[in-house]
Amino acid sequence: MTRRRIVQAALALAAAALLAACGSKISAENFERIHTGMAQKEVIALLGEPSETSNVSFAGLSGGMATWRDGNTVISVQFVNDKVQGKQLSRESGPQTK
């Protein structure tokens, strides 16, 4: 193998390692960073745009839920007046194989 090919292979391996290290924002570590009273904008900055949202307003209160999905990991956060009131982390099971 030529020196140039060895360098190219090493660079390709380094790039692959960096991409693998990036990982998903939808993780148990980021879930633990979400706390009651945190602003909805802060949660979006942490996790990115949600996969699903629902909102309702009544008598001066606004509330809703946002859900983030990545693979089988799901983070759901409940908001009242744009502040975190509750959160849930779950792992969905994949399709059954026979």
68 exposed, middle or buried (CB, 10 Å; 0-12, 13-18, 19+)?
Answer: buried
- Please write the tens of the pLDDT for every residue from 22-40: 578 999 999 999 999 999 9
CATH 3.30.1450.10 fits 24-91, yes or no: yes
Q: What pTM was computed for the model?
A: 0.70
Contact 74, 67 (CB under 8 A): yes
How high does pLDDT run on average in the chain?
85
87 neighbors 46 (Cβ within 8 angstroms): no
Provide the pLDDT for residue 65.
97
Task: Answer yes or no: is pLDDT of 1 > 70.
Answer: no
Q: Are strands 52-58 and 61-70 parallel, antiparallel or unpaired?
A: antiparallel
